[in-house]
Amino acid sequence: MNSPTGPTRTTVFRPRSSRWILAIAGVVVAVGLTVSVVTSGPQALVTAAPLLAVAAVAWWLFWFPAVIIGPAGVELRNPAQTISVPWAGLIHVDTKYALKLVTPSGSYTAWAAPAPGVRGTHAGKPENMQNLPGSSYGAGGSVRPGDLSNTDSGLAALLVRSEWERRIDSGLIDVDATDTAKVDRRINWGPLGVVASLLLLSVLTFALQ
């Protein structure tokens, strides 16, 4: 049996809108800080916690979350916790409501790859249904809206399935280890602590004014 990892590069997927949301939040914070300093002087920076909290929350909800496809498996980095699914433990990829990785021990959903709404579904074109990994297609070659490559869930699923199927076809996954493959789940204490601290400082700032 070949190595269960095999050569591959790490791919990081984030929602397509995350850059815009983070940029808008950054502009709001920068303008707010500038106005505060101009109107009240540098001492206004002491009470800047609410603006910094806005930036931190935007980063935490829209940039920090990601789907990371790497040599060891797929990592779902959600706001509150990170789930690492090894390739050997993956048995199905679903996109009904969001990218969801199914394993013998449970199912895990990616915050960073939601399925499309009505508008996103209607924006799909015939080419968004073509050349997808084999496991993307249902009966009669049908494709679920969440699997369209122009959607967040569909593009993330394409990346995961392509690497997963490559490994299966190359014999790089030990199928006998599927039931014993361990899914790692850990709380994101660092980001949670930063966001919670800034929110607490914001509350105290308003209370002391």
Residue with tokens 């829209």: 62
First to last CA, the chain: 67
The pLDDT of residue 3: 39
- Alpha helices, DSSP H only, in the chain? 18-40, 49-62, 118-122, 152-169, 189-208
**Half-sphere exposure of residue 175: CA atoms within 13 angstroms, side-chain side:** 8
For residues 191 and 46, the model is more confident at: 191
Q: What is the pLDDT of residue 154?
A: 92
CA separation for the pair 131, 61 (Å, rounded)? 32
Span 64-89, average pLDDT: 97
Q: Which of 15, 179, 34 is nearest to 111 (CA)?
A: 15
The yes-or-no verdict on residue 5 having pLDDT over 60 is: no
pTM, two decimals, is: 0.86
pLDDT band at 7 (very low <50, low <70, confident <90, very high): very low
pLDDT of residue 204: 84
Q: In this predicted model, what pLDDT tens digit does every residue of 139-156 receive, in sequence order? A: 667 677 888 888 999 999
Q: Of residues 87 and 29, which shows the higher confidence score?
A: 87
Please say if the pLDDT value at position 209 is more than 90.
no
Residue 158 has pLDDT above 70, yes or no: yes
The average confidence (pLDDT) of the chain is 86
Position 141 scores a pLDDT of: 73
pLDDT score at 205: 77
Q: What is the pLDDT of residue 74?
A: 98
pLDDT band, residue 126 (cuts 50/70/90): low
